[in-house]
A = this chain, B = another copy of it.
Amino acid sequence: MSTKNRIRLVVQYDGTDFCGWAAQSGQRTVQSTLKEAVRQISDDVNEIIGASRTDAGAHACGQVCHFDTANPIPEPNWVRALNDLLPGDIAVQDSKRVPQSFHSRFCATWRFYRYRFAIGTRQPLRSRYAHTLWKPLDLEAMSSAAQTLVGRHDFWSFSEETPAEANTVRELQSVRVRSVRDEIWLDIVGNAFIRGMMRRIAGGLMEVGQGTRPIQDFPDLLHTERREGIFRPIVLPARGLCLMNVRYGRHPKDFRENSTNEDE
């Protein structure tokens, strides 16, 4: 009989100096940094499970994770206790006790990622968080190509070195490309993402926006039977990528209503 409580955390991090979320021996990762801080408070914590395994260099506004502990400290106190221990590039935003049936990864129904393109001269005050391009992109062409991605498709062409027999079918709820000041933001909500998928979608749409890939290529990229001879989209740098939030429950609301931070 377990006497442990399950604690759910919402975590924000600047991914620049992390080798991604997932613990790897000898590397500075978000998971291991977080685990070290949690274990300074409760050494009965063995594992911290995250909703998304973000790439090296990618950021997160609202990564979700959970762990089990018998420590009786009140649930909201985890925020300040952990933030006092964590380094400057990672901080807990929220903590909550949840039932044992909650699992940050397996119960997640939707993940919302943003990719930011900054157009013009490189600006150091934002270039940690955006991919800078010297020339403008064709927003209309990008939007047209983006719409073909919505729904349930085989995203094999947007994955890295995936064996042909792997299941690369994923469902995207919405794909939105828009201009925000002198930036272009690509917002995608999907049930799950294959490794590198988000950065290859951003790459493919950038190619369309630059006129180096025809829009008509996009439907072909999604058809399993047309894999032969497909020219895969480029993978863009992780610095432009941010996991905005993770949603649970069967009926996802519009993600744009979820947080005022998202429109900054």
Contact = CB atoms under 8 A, between A and B. Distances in A.
Contact of A13 (B124, B181, B182): B124
Given A181-B260, A264-B181, A125 B59 contact: yes
A65 interface: no
Contacts of A89: 124
B12 A91 contact: no
Nearest to A59: B125
Contacts of A83: 121-122
Contacts of A121: 79, 83, 91-93
Question: Of A12, A59, A93, A125, which is in contact with the most chain B CB atoms at under 10 Å from its CB?
Answer: A125
Interface of A: 12-14, 59, 61, 79, 83, 88-93, 121-125, 127-129, 181-182, 242, 260-261, 264
B181 A125 contact: no
A127 B61 contact: no
Q: Give the copy number.
A: 2
Nearest to A89: B124
A123 B93 contact: yes
Contacts of A242: 125
Contacts of A125: 12-14, 59, 61, 129, 242
Nearest to A61: B125
Given A12-B125, A14-B124, 8 more contacts: A12-B123, A61-B125, A89-B124, A91-B127, A93-B121, A125-B129, A128-B128, A181-B260
A124 B12 contact: yes
A129 B123 CA distance: 14
Nearest to A183: B264
A198 to B, nearest CB: 17
Nearest to A83: B122
Contacts of A261: 181
Question: What 7 pairs between A and B have smallest CB-CB spacing?
Answer: A91-B122, A14-B124, A89-B124, A91-B124, A12-B124, A93-B121, A13-B124
